[in-house]
Each structure stands twice: as C-alpha cells, then as structure tokens.
Structure 1
C-alpha cells in the first residue's frame, strides 16, 4: 500500500502554526437542501413560550443555553452529564436568570443524521431538560448515507433533522419532549432583547454551492431587517476561526459572513459555532470594535479529554490573549480538557457569554461559576467591517 506521507495525493497539508483559518478542499461535499416552504424562515419565541416577552421585560434580560456536537455513538454518559448540568442551572436559577431554551449549534445525531437515531441520541439525553431546544444542522446531521460509506440504507439529506426540528406541528415522540416547529434548516429566532440568525453550513463549510446565492441572499436580508435595538447573534456549525489541529477555521464561512456584513451594513454582536470538539473564544477587531467568535463544540460527543480536538501541534501559547497569524484575530480563551456549554444572557444594555466546563470524572465536576466570560455593552456594538 502506498504510504500517505508527504507528496501523496492523500496527504493533508498541515495548517500554518498560529493561523486560525485552513485551506478549503478543491472539491467540497455539498448535499442538496430540502424543499423550502413559502415563508420568511422566521420564528418568534413568543409562539413557543407565550409569556416570554412579558417575563423577560420584567426580569430585564433573557438567558439561554448553547452548545454543539452532542450526538453520541460511544455512549451517552458525557452528553447526559452536560444536560444535567444545564438542567441544574434552570432549577436553581433565580426567575430573572433562568435559561429559557437551548440553541444547539449542530451535529445532533452521529454519524450520518439517521432519523432512527434521534430517540437514543437526542430525546433520551434531554428528557429532563425543562426548556425548548432549537437547532441548526451540522455536517453529520446532513451527511446522510447517500455516499453509502457506512453501508446503510440512504435517506435524503437532513431528513431526520427536518422531521424533528422543522415539523409542521408539534408531535410528542418521547415522554414530555415534542418535535420542534422551526421554519427551515436555516432560520431566524426572534426573541426579547435578541435575534439569532441560524445558518446551515452544509457538509464541508459552505452556505451555498459555488455560483449560487440562495442562503447568502437570505442571510443578507436578515442582517438588514434585524432590529437595531436588539442584540444580533449569528450561528453556524462550522467556525470561522479555530486553532485546533483537526479542523481549523473555515475560510468560505468567514468569507460568506464578511461579504454579508459588508453588503447589509450590519455586523452582529456575537458569532457562535460548534464542529471543533473543544471550547475556544476569539476576538476580532472590526472598525476598532471587538467582535467575539465563540466555538462550543464540546457538548457531549467527545467522551474523554483525549477525544477532544487539541490545539495545533507546535503551537506555543505562553499567555492569553494570543495573537494569531491574522492581525485582527486573537485567541482570548480555550478549554481542550473538558466537556461544557454556554449560557448567553441578553439584556437591554449588555450581552454576556459564560462558559461552564463539565469534567469527564465520575461523578463529573461541574463549575458553579463561569470558567470564562465575555460581556459586550451597548456602547461597544461593532459596526460595519472595514
């Protein structure tokens, strides 16, 4: 057998040490999207939680959880521990600080998004999580067996995701949890104090096939029409930036976002992603403002510290923040040893992202206070990029 070393057609070029964006494949995989309904792909949180606006205004803030990469094929112990930690926050929080929902950043079901795996990998682990769960798809959610690499019967791409998150009406499938009624695989959640634009970055990190602009055009319009007096969050499964040795950041997602920011004249206040099985927080200077890019892909699929995605080999970080090879991008914090999740709190004058690690010990150690945190205040809202 031919060695797959340097010079081999199968060799993967190592990323430049310290560079948070990697090269894009010459022939990226892209699976067709499901049929789109005749709608604006927008959902109000009020339709799911009828009194949420009144309650959030009384509390002065809206809190929610976020994480990615949870689906388990190696056992559900870690996913269960993370879900229990989030539920403990819901149970113990004061009424004005209680997380109201979970926004999943993709890769709900491994390895190929099969609809038959949703009970074991989604409904059972979250059966005691007492809040709605929204989601955007990850590559594994869309990477069905059309390629027959697993020798299984094929399903159309995103079939399981659409059935369970984009159902025309709620259907109770497992105990108290029902299917969700999101409008599409990419969509906008309208909530008190905050709007979330959820994108679908397909299999290899693209919004659209090259020379197409269906999702890109929708994205630009959502940025333009988002209320200026609410915090704006953009979520995509593939991260723009990462210093891990396995994936790295995705140049086409970064380019698509930057183009949309410029065309719309609106830059979000926070970018959330998963895909990389670790926690990383970057800051990027746009017009003199600091825009956080947070990667939270350690939600449960990686079931040990060894299985998390480590930082690039040869990368030496003596102190934080760490200046990456991109002049305006810095690594502010990271965790490559624990599972974990985010709590995002949006108020009238500030947006705060807290990270809580969950150890792989038995029983797991759960942080009661944030291990890492960043706050954006209204006077610091980034404008359009230079």
Structure 2
C-alpha cells in the first residue's frame, strides 16, 4: 500500500522563542496551537474500571519478571513518520537493537507508547506505514494511550476523517480479544492490542501505569467521568508498587512551541487530592523532544516529570531561550522554584528504557543517529537517573 500525505499542518519555525515572562505551564503561550475542539470518546471495549493485566499479554515474560525481581520496558511517543519516515525508522531500529540487550531484569518486555501513533488525523490508512511497517522487527507488544493527532479529525477546520474520533485507534489497540489481525496491519504479523478503553490502567508485577486520554485541544481536556476514574485508580493502586501516570499533553515543558499545560496540572492535582495518593512519576509526549524535570514537594519528596515526544515525527521542537541565551540545565523555572529542568535533548530522536524493581525506577534515555549519520551507530546513552520511589528521592 502507498499513501500520499497531504500538505502538513502549519508547523513552527525552527528557531527558539525567548522566555519573555512565560511559564513552563503555559499551554497557549507558544506560536504553535494545532489543537482542534474536544472529540467525544468512543465506547469502551472492556469493563470498568478499565484495567489490563500485563500477564494476559505476555504471561511467560511476567513470570520471568517475578523470578528476576524486576522488569524492563521501552517508552516514547510522537512516532508517526508521516512526512519523513527516516527518523521513525532510526528510532525503531534503536528499539530493536536495545530489545536484544539484557539488563539487571532481562530484556525489555514491552513498549509503552505515549500517543500520536499516526499523523495527522488518526486515519486508518496511516497505520500500516506509520505503525505496523516501522515496528515489523520489534519483538515486543506495544501498548498505547492516544495522542491529539490520533483523535483529531480536522485539518485547519476542514473535516478530514469522517468516522468517529479514535475509530482506527480502538480497532488496533482496544480489540475485544487477543489474536485479531486488523485490515490496517496488512501483511505485518502484529495483532491488535487488547486494551479495555482509550484510558486504562496497566497492572504489572512491579508498577501500576495509569494512562489518561487528554483529547485533542491544545493543553488537553479531560471530562469529569475520566477525572473521577483517575482519582479512583490512584486510590486503588497497590501501595507496594510505584504509580506511573502517562498522559499525552505534558504538565511541564520549556520548549519554544507548546509549553506545559495548566489544565493537565489541575487534573493531576485534583485526582491526587481526591484520592489521597500521589503519583511517583509522570510521563508525557506531545512536545517533540526530551525533557526531564524534578518537581520537589517539601512534604512529599521529589519525583520526575518526563517529556518523551522524540520518537520519530520529523519536526523536533527546540527549547526556549532566556534573555537571548540557550537554557543550560539544571535550570530552575523562574516562576516556580520547585520545578527544575535537569536535562533535555532537542536535536536528536530517541527513546527511554525503564528498569523497575521493588525499590527503584532507573530511567535511561537513548538517542539514535541522525539520518545523515552512519546507520550502524548504536543508540547512545544521553541521560540517566534513578528514582528511589519508596523514599521519593532521586539518585543521580
């Protein structure tokens, strides 16, 4: 199958905007605001409270995790190579190479995708070139939350996708049962994932992943029913495991185009207040680069907020500048001394590898070669940190 992409949606210029009094929680501050209006969510394919046990997908790997005392996985978002497939192909090759490397708890067992699987408007015919074909040699299951482009149906006000929002995403990630080979997969052997809903909780032996769907509008939008569910899942999460929240729109970002989202900050704060529980780590995409923040609460310790939207969409987002100068980490946000940008990568594509055990989460960030560089170069470690999740402190 061949597809001819239409002209891209307006993209930001490749210069870095200055601070000019902005905040890392200013979702409308940048020059790029591609979000359309809120799209109704599709009906769930599973039963409330929308939980998926990893053992239903990879029972042998879960048994091996329990035996080894830990688990390993890949994480990244914003992968669809709609206009230039090379960055996505390079990241996919890096994921394949890394999937063969055994760490303290074995090889990575699955890939958690942070949204924007396909561009630009969730079309079914984009799933083969942007999802199934690039990961043809990736050996592990891929689990995903949708991004704004997965749910969008409009291009500059023009209706592009006439079926309901997320129809193709649901067909390929929320199948009613295992072993379903969708029309979008064509000759690829990968079958549809069995997630119970577009927002759901993934239960694993060593962590609880709560995945939100933050919809299409810039900055995200989450309705009361999902907010209530979120608080309930935080409350119900086992206390002897870390809670990792995944959302497409980031709460904190110092990029020059999107910035972070006050809306999503409020969603998290509301759920944590209602549940009496605090997430140990927050993962997001949407911004096409890598950023790692430490957010410190005097009463509840430190936790990482990570932007990992450098998974293959060709247009990387540069970081903003301060007084005409580039940001040099560690950088404390002028508007919030409790938020520190510890590291970032805005000039290369890559992925995360997480190792999780009963006490710690090790976060390793890798970048892959640029398209003009030798393809044989292995992924390069660019950032690493360990979270002592039990004591809520970071170990450099």
Pairwise TM-score range, normalised by the shorter structure: 0.7 to 0.9
Q: Report the Cα offset of residue 28 of structure 1.
A: 7.1
The answer to whether 1:236 aligns with 2:247 is yes
Who is 2:105 aligned against?
Answer: 96
- Report the aligned-residue RMSD: 2.3
1:145-191 per-position Cα deviation (integer Å, ceiling 9, x unaligned): 4x684563512111111110001123223432111110000001001
Rounded to whole Å, the distance in 2 between the matches of 1:32 and 1:22 is 25
Rounded to whole Å, the distance in 2 between the matches of 1:41 and 1:127 is 28
1:114-161 per-position Cα deviation (integer Å, ceiling 9, x unaligned): 01110111000001000000000000000014x684563512111111
The answer to whether 1:289 aligns with 2:289 is no
Q: Report the Cα offset of residue 280 of structure 1.
A: 0.4
The answer to whether 1:21 aligns with 2:25 is yes
Is the 1:356–1:367 Cα contact (8 Å) retained in structure 2? no
Rounded to whole Å, the distance in 1 between the matches of 2:160 and 2:259 is 30
Who is 1:46 aligned against?
Answer: 55
Structure 2 residue runs without a partner (length 5+): 1-16
Who is 2:3 aligned against?
Answer: none
Who is 1:76 aligned against?
Answer: 85
Rounded to whole Å, the distance in 2 between the matches of 1:283 and 1:364 is 33
The answer to whether 1:157 aligns with 2:154 is no
Who is 1:343 aligned against?
Answer: 353
Who is 1:208 aligned against?
Answer: 222
Name which of 170, 173, 182 aligns with 2:195: 182
1:67-98 per-position Cα deviation (integer Å, ceiling 9, x unaligned): 00011111321111111111111123258331
| Equivalent residues in 2 for 1:124-143, closer than 5 Å | 124-143=133-152
The answer to whether 1:219 aligns with 2:230 is yes
Please give the secondary structure, in 2, of the residue aligned with 1:171: coil
Scaled by the length of structure 2, the TM-score of the pair is 0.86
Change (3 A) 1:381 1:153: closer
Change (3 A) 1:247 1:164: same
Structure 1 residue runs without a partner (length 5+): 1-12
Q: Report the Cα offset of residue 247 of structure 1.
A: 0.2
Rounded to whole Å, the distance in 1 between the matches of 2:210 and 2:229 is 10
Please give the secondary structure, in 2, of the residue aligned with 1:202: coil
Rounded to whole Å, the distance in 2 between the matches of 1:137 and 1:100 is 21
Q: How many residues align?
A: 362
Scaled by the length of structure 1, the TM-score of the pair is 0.88
The answer to whether 1:278 aligns with 2:292 is no
Moved more, 70-79 or 97-106: 70-79
Change (3 A) 1:198 1:187: same
